[in-house]
Amino acid sequence: MEININHELTLRTIAIDDAEAVFALTNNSRENLREWLPWLDFTKELSDTKGYIEGCITGYEAKTSLTLVIIFRNKIVGIAGFNTINNTNKIAVIGYWLDKDAQGHGIMTTTVQALVQYAFDELQLNKVEIRVAVGNTKSRAIPERLHFTTEGTIRAAEWLYDHYVDHVLYGMLASEWK
């Protein structure tokens, strides 16, 4: 599956062949990503990334998740997609991360906008959620920029290495997007 956003930006379903590029990105941005993502200490070798991608492929085949590589100017610069797709309730939860060297170009806002459009138009979902650590202001700016509704705070939502962080829950309904 591929979503061509513009001449510089494309989203494509992750594949095993992407493992080396994704692992290299992880290493390049390890310190930045570790502040807000709990899986960095479990991604130490290429085989860890391959295992992650295999799980992503299984989720895609089961229609319970969709993980895409973000390709900017013909280079993989990050990951975005639906961490979960609840087909019964027609809700998807978006997750994303971007290489530190690719930040500041509007890539992620444009990517999330395309994902929301895809969720409503192609998957016929009713709601898209984004959950972000309260202190992660860069990540929180994306749903706020796209006019998501702040639905509340989930206390102690995620364990980050040695402490819990609260999440802000953002939501967008199909009827609000149009």
Query: Which CATH number covers residue 70?
Result: 3.40.630.30
For 156, the 3-state DSSP assignment is strand
Q: Is residue 59 part of a domain?
A: yes
Is the model's pTM score more than 0.75?
Answer: yes
Please report how many Cα atoms fall inside a 13 Å half-sphere around the Cα of residue 76, on the Cβ side: 21
How high is the pLDDT of residue 10?
Answer: 98
Strands 127-133 and 75-86: unpaired
Q: Is residue 161 part of a domain?
A: no
How high is the pLDDT of residue 33?
Answer: 85
Can you give the residue range of the structural domain that contains 114?
2-126
Q: Is residue 72 part of a domain?
A: yes
Q: Is residue 17 part of a domain?
A: yes
Residue ranges in the chain whose pLDDT is less than 70: none
Q: Are the CB atoms for 3 and 118 separated by under 8 Å?
A: yes
| H-assigned helices in the chain | 19-28, 30-34, 46-61, 107-121, 137-145, 174-177
- How far is the C-alpha of 126 from the C-alpha of 121, rounded, in Å? 10
For 134, the 3-state DSSP assignment is coil
| pLDDT tens-place string over residues 99-139 | 999 999 999 999 999 999 999 999 999 999 999 999 999 99
Q: Are the CB atoms for 145 and 112 separated by under 8 Å?
A: no
How high is the pLDDT of residue 34?
Answer: 81
Domain count for the chain: 1
Q: Is residue 139 part of a domain?
A: no
How high is the pLDDT of residue 38?
Answer: 85
How high is the pLDDT of residue 30?
Answer: 85
List the one residue out of 47, 115, 46, 35 whose CA is nearest residue 80. 115
How high is the pLDDT of residue 178?
Answer: 76
Q: Is residue 138 part of a domain?
A: no
Q: Is residue 142 part of a domain?
A: no
Lookup: tokens for 10: 């494309």
Distance of CA 151 to the CA centre of its chain: 19
Q: Is residue 135 part of a domain?
A: no
